[in-house]
Structure 1
Amino acid sequence: METRELRYFVAVAEELHFGRAAERLGIAQPPLSRAVARLERRLGVTLLERTSRRVSLTDAGAVLLAEGRAILAAVTAAERHARLAATSRPTLVLAAKAGAAGDLLPKLLDRYAAEPDAADVELLLCESQPHRPLLDGRADVALLHRPFDPVTGLDTEVLATEGQFAVLPAWHPLARRAEVRLADVTALPDLPLARWPGPGGAYPDGPGAEVRNLTQLFQLIALGRTTVVMPASGGAHRIEGLATVPVVDAPPVTTVVAWPPHSRSRTLAAFVRVATGL
């Protein structure tokens, strides 16, 4: 099995759409379809069920997707680590969702920088899906937020747990309440919940605005186009024109530090030790 073929298959399996996968890979759709078909013939199994309306994974395809992600992540990480080995100072790549870690991120970076053998930390700030750099080998460690970010297949340690708030335009009647329930927020006809892209980059169906980052989200809320339920560490309470109201029955959000289970890096272990000691 060639790495290129595996990368092609993973793209299709994540997008569940040959056109989007081809666009993501920067190639035409016909050679992508032929490459996946060759891979199926070589393995002797059907990886994808194709109809005129949808593409879905078979059981064999789901197994290869999980294994393929790990293989591609290991290859990318090996290439990056080999280049870093030629430098005089170790580097750790930390992925995080831009604006989502609140005060925790600067506190963690300051505390780790004070360690005598601290590595240089390169920040990889993502608009969404901060777990993806861990899966494809671009990052060594990430700050993730359950239940929003998937952590299956990753090693994690809990850093903090907090409640959630509805973020509303300051002028909205609901913003004057001391607390609300999820049903109050989801039933607002004038402020449908914002929609974030899924693992394959596609947005779920719904009337809410499509958003990719917190700056865009907060502006749309201030303009009265959408709303969201999120933890206080997202920083909405500091934005003029927005109001935050506790959602008493929303599930708590847990911030975790996460890393690939195959990592044996002492630098990573030292970083995790500092993070869990905050």
Structure 2
Amino acid sequence: MDLDLALVRTFVTTADTLHFGRAAEELGTSQQALSKRIVRLEGLLAVRLFERQGGVRLSEAGERFLPAAREALAAGERAVAAVTGAGAAVRIDTWGHLYAPMRTVAAAVQASGPVRWEPGPGRDWPSVAQALSRGGTDLGFGRVHPLPDGRDAGLTQRLVRLEPVDVLLGPSHPLAGADALTPADLRDSVLWSPAALSRLDFLRRFADEFRITRRHDGPNLGLDHLLQHVRADGEGFTLFPADAPLPDHAGLRSVPLVDPTPLYAWSLAWHDSYRHPLLDALLRGFAETGRTRRWLEYSPRRDWLPDTDHAKLTMR
């Protein structure tokens, strides 16, 4: 059987959207033409790929076919790249945007050689994990933590950076003049979170670990909005990676945390069933950059990591 990759692409796009109209729009065709392609592919394979009653969903045969269909499309892209010399592009979704994840990715890319990047913003780790599982992106970059209900099944991660975290205080905070603070010093202060705390695994675990009970969260309206609240609150603070760029907010104090120093764990993630042909080169780039910039230094007597991050240390 000759497998038409155009039909396979139609199937994969429809499987990702589970909506014939949106899939047709994404492919730049009509819904009628898309439906005909799906029917033709089902006829060639002699199986039903979608159940169409009560909404569109994959059949059992469609579930089995989807991973191999993604691999077939990826192989086709590599074949075209080999002939044209264009090189395979790497799609990477990042999250944790207030902490500027692309500054770490960009540093590692410089050590990886000529790689064409297609960066995209991910909403959070659960949404990027879903995109990786569906083949909507090649790599994810941000802080990875366990997801419930097996939503991260089949995904692999590699810890690439442990970044010290500072505390940001407004000028009227009683601790604003300190040269360094311990997490315990913040126990009577108010933790300001850039989004709902239930979605911010690192900040929630920090607050639980160091018994910070006064917490204020809300919708993510950007870094400026968050820092305005911190600056105006005489008891407020937030946490921020030590090397991340801050806008110019007069009077904000960035104070190192010690005894212990919290570390923010940045990881690269991908799906086991498809290793991008450039993945090994990228991992070498992260490793080389990490060695020269001392990204993975960790001492249990000096530093603090959430329990869920400890297992990553053995996977480096």
TM-score range, shorter chain: 0.5 to 0.7
CA change 1:26–1:146 in 2 (3 A) is same
Q: Distance in 2 between matches of 1:70 and 1:58?
A: 19
Structure 2 residue aligned with 1:57: 58
Contact 1:73–1:134 (CA under 8 A) maintained in structure 2: no
Counterpart of 1:97 (choices 94, 115, 118) is 94
Structure 1 residue aligned with 2:309: none
Structure 2 residue aligned with 1:158: 159
Q: Distance in 2 between matches of 1:184 and 1:134?
A: 25
Structure 1 residue aligned with 2:211: none
Structure 2 residue aligned with 1:122: 116
CA change 1:240–1:120 in 2 (3 A) is same
Corresponding pairs, count: 226
1:62-141 to structure 2, matched below 5 A, reads 62-84=63-85, 93=90, 95=92, 97=94, 100-101=100-101, 103-110=103-110, 112=111, 119-128=113-122
Q: Distance in 2 between matches of 1:109 and 1:156?
A: 18
Distance apart, 1:255 and its partner CA: 1.2
Q: Which ranges in structure 2 are unaligned for 5 or more consecutive residues? A: 169-187, 200-215, 230-238, 258-263, 291-316
Contact 1:157–1:257 (CA under 8 A) maintained in structure 2: yes
Q: Distance in 2 between matches of 1:91 and 1:45?
A: 32
Structure 2 residue aligned with 1:26: 28
CA change 1:133–1:121 in 2 (3 A) is farther
1:99-158 residue CA offsets vs partner (Å, 9 max, x unmatched): 542542343245x1xxxxx6323332213377869987997x764552499876566532
1:26-71 residue CA offsets vs partner (Å, 9 max, x unmatched): 000011112112222222222111135x211122111212111111
Contact 2:163–2:242 (CA under 8 A) maintained in structure 1: no
Structure 1 residue aligned with 2:178: none
Distance apart, 1:232 and its partner CA: 4.5
CA change 1:8–1:146 in 2 (3 A) is same
SS of the equivalent of 1:238 reads: coil
Structure 2 residue aligned with 1:14: 16
Q: Distance in 1 between matches of 2:69 and 2:253?
A: 44
Contact 1:97–1:127 (CA under 8 A) maintained in structure 2: yes
Q: Distance in 1 between matches of 2:70 and 2:242?
A: 29
Contact 1:160–1:256 (CA under 8 A) maintained in structure 2: no
Q: Distance in 1 between matches of 2:159 and 2:19?
A: 35
Matching residue's letter, 2:113: A
SS of the equivalent of 2:115 reads: strand
Structure 1 residue aligned with 2:144: 146
CA change 1:11–1:164 in 2 (3 A) is farther
Contact 1:134–1:260 (CA under 8 A) maintained in structure 2: no
Structure 1 residue aligned with 2:48: 46
Which stretch of structure 1 is more off in the superposition, 267-276 or 38-47? 267-276
SS of the equivalent of 1:146 reads: coil
CA change 1:177–1:39 in 2 (3 A) is farther
SS of the equivalent of 1:126 reads: strand
SS of the equivalent of 1:123 reads: strand
CA change 1:182–1:41 in 2 (3 A) is same
TM score, norm. by length of structure 1? 0.57
1:232-278 residue CA offsets vs partner (Å, 9 max, x unmatched): 5599872467999x9xxxxx75412658866696x753442231241
CA change 1:185–1:36 in 2 (3 A) is same
Distance apart, 1:179 and its partner CA: 3.5
Contact 1:142–1:259 (CA under 8 A) maintained in structure 2: no
Matching residue's letter, 1:60: A
SS of the equivalent of 1:34 reads: helix
Matching residue's letter, 1:55: V
Counterpart of 1:238 (choices 233, 236, 246) is 246
Instruction: Please identify the structure whose Cα radius of gyration is greater.
Output: 2
Contact 1:146–1:255 (CA under 8 A) maintained in structure 2: yes
Q: Distance in 2 between matches of 1:34 and 1:91?
A: 31
